[in-house]
């Protein structure tokens, strides 16, 4: 079987470039890895859900291109994205007596990619790293940009590193094995990227709604290409998140708080992003920072893609306020808020901590304020 290409986007960061290759299936994985690294041993790290479904095909492709894969399997799920799991993975990789030329390949979703990337960054002070994302969320977000981390009891992604992959290889046939809510989770980040990219991207997303809900590979590929292009441009301009890259956190100040307070795993990341995106846009409209009607439009896009637009009602307000105030983007007595002024135009504002309760309150409003957009919007 010949793998069909959906296109390749190059990510240029810190003097080097790596490809994000979209493909129909895993057939071309081995050749793609061999194009960026010399064949030899490769550590394939997967999880106990993805491994039985896809690891054998990935390893067969690698062997066909001259690689000698050895597999490590991690437990699946956000609850296992911990320092303990990371330490166990580091020890398992070191036990294989690898050297600094041995790549580690993450075959799984964002949790697996983050754990493996963080391990690759630390082992022998840096091993080559390959991402093979198997969820839509990982394809559009976690696999691109080099931010790898684990969660702690204090919050999400608070311990980690910047470690760029040598290759991202996204096979679309693996999405067929995902449950619908996992695909929806990926669409939450797709909506965020569309708002960041501008009117054309947002309108395309609205036009593709039915096809995306039907899980059309062509529509999903358009969404992934647009998201990767958006993120690649931002990462190239700011690889260490010292400025403009913070705009990628649109909706995330609330989303990370929602995930933490709900308990990791209750809300999928993209679902939390959708809720956070709708709420922060509504808040910014009320402050006069965002064009009227954008919150309602984003709400309709999210709802049309079957994403939640409000949090579970049983979440504790005071706990959410505390979680937002502890956001890792905090600077003394303020947090950095990403403001969607209009499609394609975002701003960073310092929000005093005393304003956080008002921001959190918007989460529990019945709907964003402002008129509905016109049908042609």
pLDDT score recorded for residue 328: 55
Distances (CA, A) of 13 to 73, 146, 232: 30, 9, 9
pTM: 0.88
User: How far, in Å, CA of 194 to CA of 210, rounded?
Assistant: 17
Q: Where does the pLDDT of residue 313 fall: very low under 50, low under 70, confident under 90, or very high at 90 and above?
A: confident
Clarify whether residues 156 and 212 are in a common domain. Answer: no
pLDDT score recorded for residue 48: 97
User: How far, in Å, CA of 370 to CA of 48, rounded?
Assistant: 46
Q: Closest Cα partner for 26 from 239, 162, 171, 160?
A: 171
pLDDT score recorded for residue 3: 54
Question: By CB neighbour count within 10 A (0-12 exposed, 13-18 middle, 19+ buried), where does 164 fall?
Answer: buried
Which stretch of 75-79, 192-196, 261-265 has the lowest confidence by average pLDDT? 261-265
So which residues are the catalytic ones? 125, 147, 189, 231, 241, 245, 249, 252, 256, 269
Residue 193 three-state SS: helix
User: How far, in Å, CA of 218 to CA of 54, rounded?
Assistant: 21
Clarify whether residues 254 and 149 are in a common domain. Answer: no
For the segment 99-126, the average pLDDT, to the nearest whole number, is 97
What residues does 68 pair with on adjacent strands? Answer: 41
Q: 272-311 burial, b if ≥16 CB within 10 A, otherwise e?
A: bbbbbbbbbbbbbbbeeebbebbbbbbbbbbebbebbbeb
Supply the angle between the helices 180-197 and 199-207 in degrees, to the nearest 10. 150
CATH of the domain at 172: 3.40.50.1970
| Mean per-residue pLDDT of the chain | 91
For the segment 112-132, the average pLDDT, to the nearest whole number, is 98
pLDDT at 98 > cutoff 70: yes
Clarify whether residues 133 and 40 are in a common domain. Answer: yes
Clarify whether residues 192 and 252 are in a common domain. Answer: yes
Clarify whether residues 141 and 14 are in a common domain. Answer: yes
User: How far, in Å, CA of 40 to CA of 102, rounded?
Assistant: 7
CATH of the domain at 252: 1.20.1090.10
Under 8 Å between Cβ of 23 and 156? no
Asked if residue 369 is part of any domain, the answer here is: no
Under 8 Å between Cβ of 105 and 84? no
pLDDT score recorded for residue 6: 83
Tens of pLDDT along 179-203? Answer: 999 999 999 999 999 999 999 999 9
Clarify whether residues 267 and 193 are in a common domain. Answer: yes
Q: What are the backbone dihedrals phi and psi of residue 37, each rounded to the nearest 5 degrees, phi first?
A: -140, 145
User: How far, in Å, CA of 44 to CA of 120, rounded?
Assistant: 12
Please give the residue range of the domain that contains residue 324.
181-363
Q: Where does the pLDDT of residue 266 fall: very low under 50, low under 70, confident under 90, or very high at 90 and above?
A: confident
Clarify whether residues 122 and 248 are in a common domain. Answer: no
């Amino acid at each position: 079987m010949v793998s069909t290409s959906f296109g390749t986007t190059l990510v240029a960061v810190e003097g080097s470039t790596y490809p994000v290759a979209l493909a129909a299936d895993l057939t071309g994985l081995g050749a793609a890895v061999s194009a960026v690294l010399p064949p030899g041993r490769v550590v394939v790290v997967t999880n106990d859900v993805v491994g039985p479904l896809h690891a054998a095909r990935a390893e067969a492709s690698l062997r066909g291109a001259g690689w000698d894969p050895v597999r490590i399997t991690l437990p699946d799920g956000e609850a296992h994205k911990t320092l303990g799991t990371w330490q166990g993975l580091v020890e398992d990789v070191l036990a294989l007596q690898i050297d600094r030329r041995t790549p580690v390949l993450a075959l799984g979703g964002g949790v697996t990619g983050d754990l493996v990337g963080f391990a690759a960054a630390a082992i022998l002070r840096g091993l080559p790293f390959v991402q093979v994302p198997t969820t839509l969320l990982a394809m559009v977000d976690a696999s691109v940009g080099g931010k790898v981390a684990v969660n702690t009891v204090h919050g999400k992604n608070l311990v980690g590193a910047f470690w760029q992959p040598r290759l991202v290889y996204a096979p679309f046939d693996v999405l067929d094995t995902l449950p619908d809510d996992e695909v929806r989770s990926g669409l939450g980040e797709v909506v965020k990227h569309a708002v960041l990219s501008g009117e054309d991207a947002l309108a395309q997303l609205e036009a593709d709604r039915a096809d995306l809900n039907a899980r059309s590979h062509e529509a999903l590929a358009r969404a992934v290409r647009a998201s990767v292009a958006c993120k690649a441009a931002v990462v190239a301009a700011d690889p260490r998140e010292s400025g403009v890259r913070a705009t990628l956190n649109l909706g995330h100040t609330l989303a990370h708080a929602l995930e933490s307070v709900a308990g990791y795993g209750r809300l999928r990341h993209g679902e939390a992003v959708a809720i956070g995106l709708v709420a922060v846009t509504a808040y910014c409209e009320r402050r006069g920072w965002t064009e009227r009607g954008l919150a309602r439009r984003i709400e309709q896009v999210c709802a049309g893609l079957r994403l939640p637009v409000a949090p579970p009602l049983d979440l504790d307000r005071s706990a959410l306020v505390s979680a937002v105030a502890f956001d890792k983007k905090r600077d003394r007595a303020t947090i950095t808020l990403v403001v969607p002024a209009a499609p394609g135009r975002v701003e960073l504002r310092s929000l005093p901590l005393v304003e956080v309760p008002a921001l959190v309150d918007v989460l529990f409003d019945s709907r964003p304020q402002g008129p509905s957009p016109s049908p042609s919007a």
